[in-house]
A = this chain, B = another copy of it.
Amino acid sequence: MKAIKVGLLGLGTVGCGVVRIIEDHQDKLMHVVGCPVEVKKVLVKDLDKKRAVNIDRELLTLDPYEVINDKDIDVLIEVMGGIDETKIYLLDAIQEKKHIVTANKDLIAAHGTELLTAATEKKCDLFYEASVAGGIPILRSLVDGLASDRINKMMGIVNGTTNYILTKMSKNGSSYEEILKEAQELGFAESDPESDVEGLDAARKMAILARLGFSMNVDLEDVSVKGITQVSDDDISYSKQLGYTMKLIGIADRSSGKAEVSVQPALLPDSHPLAAVNNEYNAVYVYGEAVGETMFYGPGAGSLPTATAVVSDLVGVLKNMRLGVNGRSAVAPQYDKQLKQPHEIFAQYFLRIHVKDQVGALAKITALFSERGISFEKILQLPLKGENLAEIVIITHKASKKDFDEILSELHDLDVIDQVKSKYRVEGNGES
């Protein structure tokens, strides 16, 4: 029986996991796809580096085209990362009629549509389950499992680093800086954590989810992004008092054919399924018109979990090869892109302000909201020790982003306001 030959671009954390799973689970692969699977060639940066797997040095190469142009290789697994150069490699590999499996969210978020089009033209598969939420098979669930439903909302905890930091801040009451340092020491945060803590990593994943879930070409630039670097322990502690949990949430929302995609620290009621997703775990909550609430939970990163998603995609390619139907599963977007404007985006808000301890201060604030027909769900007012100020924390009922932003700028001008300390979106309260 002829073995299927696989080439790898990259042999880092995920790449080593892929090699290990292909070796360890050879019996299952044999059973499912009917023939052995063999790693034929691997692009690396350093031939002599010590690695987490034993791999024949003969298989390694420094030249990507030794992998891309190898006639024996049927499937190319891209786990090297990077965008521009990697895109060229994959397009060239598609010209060589290689099927592609990639874990590269940066690339798919930026150039997924172009790559998919090229692959479909050449009757090649291009799968990328591992690019979103590591080991959670969320993309398949959106495309196949919920194929018959109309998905109207997705909320994702899709970045493990920030979820780890916020979980620890919430449990220990420590500051962002302390926990970040600890996370870096434990390997849960990169030494350069910017793309995680500023929300860009999550934004990429949300763009990919929105594209599939809403069948609409959402670009990375359409995602509004705010990270967690400004989240204070006070914000978290007040949220808790009011029955809410702070998470970095990717929101993709659709109504009347228009979509909104954003990433921001937001508050969820403690009883919401996403509120219990802790530490480095990821989860994607999906609301479908017919199915209602579902949630998919699991490890969002890590060598073996991510590699599982890569190799499961590989199995998909191999099954298609056996049936002779590669390159025919991608579906073009059903809808033209239409994005919501600020007056069409509705949410509840958490607002924390310091006001001067004067008669009528709260009345002036309340007036700004009631002029726009916005009432409050909860208010907390406390004196600030040693200062002639009070702390006011408000959870509003639903307001449009436009109204809320206008109120914010007017608040700054009120004489009773000392400082607007923070504001967050509040989600999952059933007020949608």
**Copies of this protein, total:** 2
Residues 323 to 346 of chain A near chain B (Cβ within 8 Å): 323, 325, 328-329, 331, 334
The distance from the CB of A17 to the nearest CB of chain B, in whole angstroms, is 7
Asked whether A1 is an interface residue with its Cβ less than 8 Å from the other chain, the reply is no
Give the interface segment out of A55-63, A158-166, A296-304: A296-304
Among residues of B, the one whose C-beta sits closest to the C-beta of A294 is B298
Q: In the complex, what's the smallest C-beta–C-beta distance from A93 to chain B, in angstroms? A: 21
CA distance in complex: A329, B34 (Å): 12
Contact B290 A294 (CB under 8 A): no
A133 — nearest CB in chain B belongs to which residue? B294
CA distance A135 to B294 in the complex (A): 8
Contacts of A273 in B (CB 8 A): 276, 297
Within residues 311 to 360 of chain A, which ones have a CB less than 8 A from any CB in chain B? 311-312, 314-316, 319, 323, 325, 328-329, 331, 334
| Contacts A290-B305, A297-B295, A308-B291 given; does A147 touch B32 at CB 8 Å | yes
Q: A297-B297, A328-B323 are in contact. Are A149 and B308 (CB under 8 A)?
A: yes
Q: Which residue of B lies closest to A281 (CB)?
A: B293
Residues of B near A312 (CB, < 8 A) are: 144-149
Q: A297-B273, A297-B296 are in contact. Are A137 and B148 (CB under 8 A)?
A: no
Shortest distance between the CB of A147 and any CB in chain B (Å) = 4
Please give the residue numbers on chain A whose beta carbons come within 8 Å of chain B beta carbons, in ascending order: 17, 21, 24-25, 27-29, 31-32, 129, 135-137, 140-141, 144-150, 215, 273, 276, 281, 288, 290-299, 302, 304-305, 307-309, 311-312, 314-316, 319, 323, 325, 328-329, 331, 334
